[in-house]
Amino acid sequence: MHGDRCKQLYEQIRDRALISGQQAQQLSKTLKELQNTQAQLIHTEKMSSLGQLVAGVAHEINNPANFIHANLNHASVYSQDILDLLKLYQQTYPNPTPEISDRVQDLDIEFLAKDLPKLMASMQVGTKRIRQIVLSLRNFSRLDEAEMKFVDINEGLDKHKESTNSRWLMKWIE
């Protein structure tokens, strides 16, 4: 009888040990799942914060860039008007005073007259590029939105092409 009791206790202990082992495996699996979920939540929060930061940076860049871009057309017209007036003065008064002649030579007016329109054009290209970058930043900042969205790969390729073209244009202008 004592042997039966020992056998019974042994089987109970074995069964409980087996159950405890299964529970330990289940707890370990659950812990790993929780750790993965926590890592995903942290990643999501970081991406959300990054999106907000990028949106803020894009906004701060956008305001002065738009101001500059909007005023470049006026500045180009004004500078061309001044260059035209200077040319008219030179035609009307072909023999300037020695002081004016020295100043014209010091400033290299011929170079300035040729370079200023190029400078204004390159500034226009630059502000357009800044605006494209801001748009890209805004699009990136939407990564924290919950739902999946379709993207237009052609648009992405076009933006890359525009970027490459504007780099080529800047080299050509220089």
Return d(Cα 135, Cα 129) in angstroms, integer.
10
Helix (H, G, I), strand (E, B) or coil at 150: coil
* 91 pLDDT higher than 90: yes
Looking at residue 141, its pLDDT comes to: 74
Which token pair is 19? 């159950």
Arithmetic mean of pLDDT, 121-148 = 80
* 121 pLDDT higher than 70: yes
Q: Are 109 and 86 in contact (CB under 8 A)?
A: yes
* 144 pLDDT higher than 50: no
Looking at residue 159, its pLDDT comes to: 64
The residue assigned the tokens 């999106």 is 51
What does the mean pLDDT of the chain come to? 84
Return d(Cα 73, Cα 79) in angstroms, integer.
10
- Residue 54: partners with Cβ closer than 8 Å, 6 or more residues away: 137, 138, 140, 141
**What is the band of 3 on the pLDDT scale with cuts at 50, 70, 90?**
confident
Helix (H, G, I), strand (E, B) or coil at 57: helix
Please indicate whether residue 158 or residue 111 has the higher confidence score (pLDDT): 111
Arithmetic mean of pLDDT, 88-112 = 93
Return d(Cα 54, Cα 65) in angstroms, integer.
16
Arithmetic mean of pLDDT, 125-146 = 79
Looking at residue 51, its pLDDT comes to: 80
Looking at residue 29, its pLDDT comes to: 94
pLDDT above 70: percentage of residues in the chain = 82
* 14 pLDDT higher than 50: yes
Looking at residue 135, its pLDDT comes to: 86
* 113 pLDDT higher than 70: yes
Which token pair is 66? 């738009």
Helix (H, G, I), strand (E, B) or coil at 32: helix
Return d(Cα 9, Cα 15) in angstroms, integer.
10
> Model pTM greater than 0.75?
no
Looking at residue 170, its pLDDT comes to: 54
pLDDT in tens, 32-53: 999 999 999 898 888 888 888 8
Q: Which residues in 31-149 belong to E strands, given as ranges?
A: none
